[in-house]
Amino acid sequence: MTRHLLVSFDDSELSDRALPFACSAFPEDRITVMYVIDARSDETAAAGWGNTTDQYERWVASRREFADELLHHAEAIADEHGVTLDTVVAIGRVRDAIVDYAADHDVDLVVMGFHPRSRLSAYLAGEFSDRVIRSSDLPVALVK
């Protein structure tokens, strides 16, 4: 039976490890790569779009362009492994986007990168992955 994997992907070294893992460990399964535009990040607050829809829409458009470039990179990684993948861009809280997509699209396994460089990053990365794990009944593979 073919499984459906969801790989959380961003512009970090973590993603560059998680996706090749998924492609090499599960080459016959369906792999979807997701990039989440985090509408609650510090970047959105710094952009100052709070009261104007036009500024927010420009910010989202710029993030979508970035996401397209990033997902082309993901497709290149998959091509190196002889794997075809689906890509998706979501907007919202990262945890919620991952959990909601997984529930709505019959995902069997979530794959995320995990390689903390310090105690603080270990705490933050652990907290992020912990939130995904606690919010879903699905198995989550952390790749370091």
Determine the average pLDDT of the residues in 93-120: 83
- Asked whether residue 114 carries a pLDDT value surpassing 90, the answer given is no
State the pLDDT at residue 51: 60
State the pLDDT at residue 56: 78
CATH of 4-143, one of 3.40.50.300, 3.10.20.30, 3.40.50.620, 2.60.40.10: 3.40.50.620
Two tokens, residue 63: 């993030």
pLDDT band per the 50, 70, 90 thresholds, residue 33: very high
- Asked whether residue 69 carries a pLDDT value surpassing 90, the answer given is yes
Strands in the chain per DSSP E: 4-8, 30-38, 85-92, 109-113, 140-143
Determine the average pLDDT of the residues in 114-137: 58
Phi-psi region of 34 (alpha: psi -120 to 50; beta: other; left: phi over 0): beta
